[in-house]
Structure 1
Amino acid sequence: MRGSESEREDRAVSRRGVLAAAGVLAGASSMPARARARASGGWDFIVVGAGVFGAWTAWTLRRRGHSVLLVDAWGAAHSRASSGGETRLIRTEYAGNALYTRWAWESLTEWHALSKRLGSPIFHETGALYLYPADTAQIDRSIAIQRALDIPIEKLAAPELARRWPQIGLDGIAVGVMQPTMGALMARRSVQALVEAFVAAGGSFRQFAVAPPRSARAALDAVTSADGSALEASHFIFACGPWLPKLFPDVVGARIVPTRQDVFFFAPKAGDGRFGGTKLPAWVDVSSEDLHYGFPDIEGRGFKIALDRHGPSFDPDRFDRRITDRALAEVRAYLARRFPDLARRPLAEARVCQYENSDNGHLLIDRHPGWSNCWIAGGGSGHGFKHGPAVGRYVADLVLGTGRAEPAFALAAHRIHGEAEERS
């Protein structure tokens, strides 16, 4: 049985945060009271990984009345997690991919709810601007999909872009796509707030380092830590981002490879509001070889810039997170072309994050092939954060047997990185 000490551990989220989050999300006050573990000592579900996918999955299952334990080795949205850091872009411009467009639009409603009902902002509606080197039929197809969903969107020629945002250098840009209702999600803050709301609604949270799971049966009975402590449940969901290949070397392995990603924040000139969130949208430069993207100065952190190029392989446990002089020089060279007034400004802050994209960029969400009660959800870095609410709903539907699987997310649809080149 779980004693009072264990119950206090389950709710190891700040009292202030829990009180602030109580009733944050719609439906919290009407949930069934079956919040504690079953009499046998286990839970209906254990979700491993308190990042954006794990937190929204745990919240959704709890909202549907199930007893849920959420665990993480270091805490919700910690500094090494893919869901850590300051900002993530939410946008529905998806090169004509109808599923991701719809998921992002549906998720925005729930992000708005979390932002509005909490004391601190989760979402900043800066708008999102895509910059393209040429006008193409694919851009028009993507716009048509979004307009069919009643998503506000504008297609702008280069002269109009220059009139609205003269602080952007438009060399090589032919057209832009502006989404005025999109913008920046505060990554760490939003996930931690969601976990607090989950606990306030009757969910359980523990800091617990899970060892690679083992079972000779057709199901998984428990997850264990390195010291042999065990947690039992009827079902298990692993949403561990870049740690999935380590937990499941045979099943996931090199289908997901964490890569190093450098992120920079530059300080605009004192009093220069042109690079703040009211004057400049979040942006993605499709014309750049490495697909640079960034955010205006939000909450005084500085102008953020990064690139979507997959960096070298990166071990989230072992590697130091220090930017290189070469990376800084490269990003300054890009700024000189696209944001020239920032090219010589001081570097205010820098971070080394990681992607954990799959080989084809699609999410990887599927049942473990050997254990009927175990599910894996990952492969989201680079574009997955915004979809957190939709992923939580999708995973909950799958594990409860009420949803239809998306073929592109299946394990069988993902090759091992490098496999295609070796076979060609």
Structure 2
Amino acid sequence: MAIDGQNERKPEYINRRQLLKYSVQGAAAGAFSSTFPAQAIAANFSKEPAKNGKIVVVGAGAFGGWTALHLLRKGYTVTLIDQFGAGNSQASSGGETRLIRAYYDDPVYVDMARRAITLWKENEPRMGQKLLHQNGLLLFNYPSSKAESAVAIYKKAGMPLEKVSLDDAVKRWPQIGTEGLDHILYDPNAGYLDARKGCHAVCNLFIKEGGTFLQKQVKQESIKGGKATSITLSDDSVLEADQFVFACGPWLVRLFPELTKKLKVTRALCFFFASPPGQSDLMENKLPTWMDRDMTGPFRSFGVPGSDFRGFKIGLTPPDNNVTDRFDTYHRIARQEELDMALNVIARRFPKMVGQPLIEQRVCQYTITPDSDFILDTHPEADNLWLMGGDSGHGYKQGASFGEMAANTVIGEKEKLKKFALKRLIG
């Protein structure tokens, strides 16, 4: 892997024991050796002068990790906490891959996705590994699909989005099946992110730049006189700070039940099928990522072809997917009828994959708001305690830029966005 013209080297990963050791010691910047030369590491970022403020961020997923990193670069003393570790399998951000695209009919998310792509590109040299893969995105559209608003946003922003006839699509991508489709939209700038690795990379970079990471569970917060004063951890230790950001995915439902009554934690399924031997056209360098806009619902299935030799990924959201009351206790096993749904997608869209065995399956989960918009707001009883979440199944792609927005909002450089207000979820 070569990045920004540097020689190819294997990324150096930090094991759990090292990570805990360095986090307890304050995570001095010199504790980690980079896989890239010093001039590449110093190219883009420098930490601002120290500010008089301590901030605690709870949750090291796509939202919390990037928020902590941006706050640290603003000059604040930041502690990042996660009960299971960055990129863990129980988290919404813990999968192998996540799509990244600007295909939205809302300019807020379009801008955030574009900014996120820029942030990943800027930070990859410092992370020492390639995590953003812009191999394009195919949008399978049906006669009833309503894509006009998103297409108009692309056009206004000057972003490429190509409408491809079915005949031309089959010539360009003979691997796909077009049964029942009206046309295909192709976004060459979209693609996918290495999700779990990305969480590790952000957390490691945060530590390397001087942040403190703790793998501990938060039991409760303490609020007095309209301010959050501290949090108590599972070992009964207490952390005090000037600001607190809770970006802990479905655990927001546990920690703040009175504020999150309208949140749902939902199951999402990922199936990985063995790529046929010698079929390089089913790998990510030959086939774009894809989303299927079914007539009966938006984006009912999606996938990433053959990335990192992990198999051909089919992702979908089943009809029976509400696990709010047991999200951390149920067995994450897909049902036979759900596997059949994935097999039907393969039969209809990827005929070369028919008959290939299932080699891995995952039940992921995400926290959805009624309107699918994110949450970024202060607690009604504490103006220095922030709730951040509601990824709604599309949060990873904006994590880098949403974290930047959160950092700027927490320190008062940016106004809170009404779109992400907490009051829409209360009651």
1:97-142, CA deviations, whole angstroms, 9 ceiling, x for partnerless residues?
1111111011111112233443321011210111110276x52332
Gap regions ≥5 residues in structure 2: 1-19
Q: How many residues align?
A: 402
Q: Residue 27 of structure 2 contacts residue 208 of structure 2 at CA under 8 Å; is this kept in 1?
A: no
Distance 1:412 1:108, change over 3 A: same
Counterparts of residues 24-423 of structure 1 (less than 5 Å): 24=41, 27-28=44-45, 30-32=46-48, 34=50, 44-94=54-104, 96-134=105-143, 138-252=146-260, 254-287=261-294, 289=296, 291-309=300-318, 311-314=321-324, 315-414=326-425
Q: CA deviation at 1:13?
A: 11
Distance 2:315 2:149 in 1: 27
Q: CA deviation at 1:215?
A: 2.4
Matched residue, 2:13: none
Q: CA deviation at 1:268?
A: 1.7
Distance 1:131 1:14 in 2: 46
Q: Residue 237 of structure 1 contacts residue 377 of structure 1 at CA under 8 Å; is this kept in 2?
A: yes
Structure 2 counterpart of 1:31, which letter?
K
SS in 2 for 1:93: coil
1:43-81, CA deviations, whole angstroms, 9 ceiling, x for partnerless residues?
610000000100111111111111111011111111111
Q: Residue 80 of structure 1 contacts residue 316 of structure 1 at CA under 8 Å; is this kept in 2?
A: no
Distance 1:79 1:223 in 2: 25
Distance 1:325 1:47, change over 3 A: same
Q: CA deviation at 1:366?
A: 0.8
Gap regions ≥5 residues in structure 1: 417-424
Distance 2:242 2:25 in 1: 18
Most deviating of 110-119 and 100-109:
110-119
Distance 1:365 1:140, change over 3 A: same
Q: Residue 274 of structure 1 contacts residue 280 of structure 1 at CA under 8 Å; is this kept in 2?
A: yes
Distance 1:20 1:210, change over 3 A: farther
Structure 2 counterpart of 1:243, which letter?
W
Distance 1:6 1:351, change over 3 A: closer
Q: Residue 19 of structure 1 contacts residue 200 of structure 1 at CA under 8 Å; is this kept in 2?
A: no
Q: Residue 126 of structure 2 contacts residue 205 of structure 2 at CA under 8 Å; is this kept in 1?
A: no
Q: Residue 82 of structure 2 contacts residue 214 of structure 2 at CA under 8 Å; is this kept in 1?
A: yes
Most deviating of 76-85 and 314-323:
314-323
Q: Residue 223 of structure 2 contacts residue 381 of structure 2 at CA under 8 Å; is this kept in 1?
A: no
Distance 1:76 1:18 in 2: 19
Distance 2:365 2:175 in 1: 30
Structure 2 counterpart of 1:307, which letter?
L
Pairwise CA RMSD: 2.5
Q: CA deviation at 1:33?
A: 6.5
Distance 1:338 1:415 in 2: 42
Identity of aligned residues (%): 35
Q: Residue 262 of structure 1 contacts residue 351 of structure 1 at CA under 8 Å; is this kept in 2?
A: yes
Distance 1:268 1:15, change over 3 A: farther
Most deviating of 310-319 and 232-241:
310-319
Distance 1:389 1:342 in 2: 34
1:306-356, CA deviations, whole angstroms, 9 ceiling, x for partnerless residues?
114461315342122222222212211222122222232111211111021
Structure 1 counterpart of 2:129, which letter?
S
SS in 2 for 1:221: strand
Distance 1:259 1:234 in 2: 33
Distance 1:33 1:130, change over 3 A: same
User: TM-score, normalized by length of structure 2?
Assistant: 0.87
1:165-198, CA deviations, whole angstroms, 9 ceiling, x for partnerless residues?
1221111111111111210100011111111111
Distance 1:344 1:288 in 2: 26
- Please say if 1:9 is aligned against 2:16: no
Q: Residue 28 of structure 2 contacts residue 209 of structure 2 at CA under 8 Å; is this kept in 1?
A: no
Distance 1:104 1:216 in 2: 38
Q: Residue 23 of structure 2 contacts residue 207 of structure 2 at CA under 8 Å; is this kept in 1?
A: no
Q: CA deviation at 1:26?
A: 5.5
Most deviating of 212-221 and 101-110:
212-221
Q: Residue 82 of structure 1 contacts residue 381 of structure 1 at CA under 8 Å; is this kept in 2?
A: no
Q: CA deviation at 1:217?
A: 2.9
Distance 1:275 1:13 in 2: 43
